[in-house]
Amino acid sequence: MRKPPKINNAERVRVGPGVAGLGVFAVKKFRKGQTLGEVTGTIRHASGEASRYCMDLGHDRVLEPGEPFRYMNHSCHPNVQIFYWWDEEHPEIPAESLHVHALRTVNPGDELFIDYAWPAWFAIPCLCGAKSCRGWIVDKEELHLVEKEQAKAKRALARKKAAKGKAAPKKPTRKAAKKA
């Protein structure tokens, strides 16, 4: 089985203030397709306690990422992506490592962004500001589920407001009788 090359992440990326808390930044230039580093951390069973930042390794396992890549922020228009390194001749052997590679040229000082692609039930509003922003941190394939729930909530709110206006009849007021 061919092992991935060892990469010194500290020579390639650094952690610093990013668009949302801490972020990961390139130390040198990377061309499209180049590997920026290896995502290291703790491998856990997917059914156990894990944070929302865990990355799926398959075979009912997730990787709780350690520094520096645990600080990568989301964008709907990412400049890097995470990929598995596995033996194509033996796909039954679980992936043991994840790597970050450039989707386009990344210059020194650029913040690295991945698409979190969370499931719809985990979606939160997105503030990435990309032209192609989906408005939600969610998998593209599940965006319609979030939009459907939002439309349902909006209709329910409209019904509640309409009912509030009709449901409360005005209290009768007492008027003094006119003397003839």
Distant-in-sequence, close-in-space partners of 13: CB < 8 Å, separation ≥ 6 = 24, 25, 26, 27, 36, 37, 68, 69, 112
Split into its structural domains, the chain has a count of 1
pLDDT at 37 over 70: yes
Residue 106 lies in a domain: yes
Identify the CATH number of the domain in which residue 94 sits.
2.170.270.10
Q: Does residue 51 belong to any structural domain of this protein? A: yes
DSSP E strand stretches across the chain = 13-17, 22-26, 35-39, 41-45, 55-58, 61-65, 73-74, 80-85, 97-102, 113-114, 124-125, 136-137
93 lies in some domain? yes
Tell me: pLDDT of 179 over 50: yes
Q: Which percentage of the chain shows pLDDT scores above 90?
A: 44
Q: Per the domain annotation, does 61 fall within a domain?
A: yes
Establish if 27 belongs to a structural domain: yes
Domain of 109?
9-116
More confident residue, 70 or 176: 70
Whether 15 is covered by a domain: the verdict is yes
Q: Between 91 and 99, name the one with better pLDDT.
A: 99
Residue 81's pLDDT is: 95
Give the separation between CA 22 and CA 67, rounded to whole angstroms: 11
Q: What is residue 1's predicted lDDT score, i.e. its pLDDT?
A: 42
Q: Over range 28-36, report the average pLDDT.
A: 95
Residue 105 inside a domain? The answer is yes
- Does residue 85 form part of some domain? yes
pTM of structure: 0.76
